[in-house]
A and B are shown apart, each in its own frame.
Chain A
Amino acid sequence: MNQRSQSLTRPNGTAAAALLSGAIGAFAMGLFALSNEWGIFSAPTLYGPAGGVSGRTTFAVVVWLIVWAVLHRAWRAREMNMSAIFIASLILIALGLLGAFPPVWQLVG
């Protein structure tokens, strides 16, 4: 089997897992920023000179990588609905951006 015919039989689950987990990572980043500002959860500072952002960003990256690993394992041999992945990704990215948008922080308190 040549490389091209191999790729045609390769499911899109790997792509779906990578792309959706990227969007979940963006959402997690916004969620950590928002929860910090609203006093719900503050990630610990991991590098003093940079302050709390070092913890928030590291936590978001860890969430992203864990989600990616889990989804990759679950979906790598499956054919996923890319339209649903596309829409879910856009919604997650939009929510993540809202969470990192300072005017939203002021809606509480």
Chain B
Amino acid sequence: MTLFTERSIWTMIHGIVLGGSALLAFSAALYCMWSVRTADGNDSAARTRCGHLARLMLGLTIIVWAMVLIGTYVNFPPYRATPPEGATDLSAFPRSLLNSNPETAWLHGFAMEIKEHVPWMIAMLMTAVSFVLLRYHSDLVERPRVRRTISAFVTIGFVLTAGVALLGMLINKVAPLA
């Protein structure tokens, strides 16, 4: 018996490795932004932290794009595969397995439908944030309004990523890609 199949390894890379790393990086980024919220242009420590934040967000953006692309092009195809005519064991066909039971059908019709689109929004928003941080770097200390917009984007990204991760966990609990 194989402990981990190739599909389950990709699922773990997508959800645990990349999803977990993204949530950790979001937490660190939010803390970093909070720590410079009252800083002015003469605060050298805050300028240094903004520099760290730029590198952190670049890493986070790469993680989010990897998570999104693996989710869409590696994990999603086997999830939505159509079972052969007359198949009774649907365990290898998660979408069909979820839809076969009215109590779990919402995990496809609601949870997976959200997971198909919302992570792409997160990736685009975080790319924009990374670009601005890398472009303006520590000088964002002197631009509170740009900082406020960036903080809102990162907060939204964090909440959405946590929500999408929860939905993915529920789907994987009922119909794992094994």
A residues apposed to B, CB below 8 Å: 4, 7-8, 10, 12, 14-15, 18-19, 21-23, 25-26, 29-30, 33, 47, 49-51, 53-54, 56-57, 60-61, 64, 68, 82-83, 85-86, 89-90, 93, 96-97, 100-103
A23 touches B77 (CB 8 A): no
Q: A22-B153, A26-B124 are in contact. Are A49 and B116 (CB under 8 A)?
A: no
In the complex, A90→B153 CA distance in Å? 9
Q: Using Cβ atoms and an 8 Å threshold, which residues of chain B touch A96?
A: 121
Contact between A102 and B76 (Cβ–Cβ < 8 Å)?
A: no
* Stretch of B9-17, B24-32, B128-136 at the chain-chain interface: B128-136
Q: Which among A25, A53, A90 has the highest number of chain B CB atoms within 10 Å?
A: A53
* In the complex, per-residue mask of B123-156: 1 if CB is within 8 Å of any chain A CB, else 0: 0110111011001110100110110111011001
Q: Which of A7, A15, A90, A100 contacts B132 (CB 8 A)?
A: A15
The dominant DSSP class at the B interface is helix
A27 and chain B: residue at smallest CB distance: B121
The number of residue pairs between A and B whose CB atoms lie closer than 8 Å in the complex comes to 116
What is the CA–CA distance of A14 and B125 in the complex, to the nearest angstrom?
15
Q: Given the interface contacts A47-B73, A53-B72, A56-B117, does A22 sit within 8 Å of B145 by beta carbon?
A: no
How near does chain A come to B147, taking the closest CB pair, in angstroms? 9
Given contacts A8-B142, A29-B120, contact A22 B76 (CB under 8 A): no
Q: Is the CB–CB distance between B117 and A25 below 8 Å?
A: no
Tell me which residues across on chain A come within 8 A of B124, comparing CB atoms.
22, 25-26, 29, 60-61, 64
B80 within 8 A of A: yes
Taking a contact as CB atoms under 8 Å apart, the answer to whether B118 and A100 are in contact is: yes
Nearest CB of B to A16, in Å: 8
Additional 7 contacts, C-beta under 8 A, given A93-B156, A102-B110? A4-B139, A29-B118, A60-B120, A85-B149, A86-B148, A90-B152, A100-B113
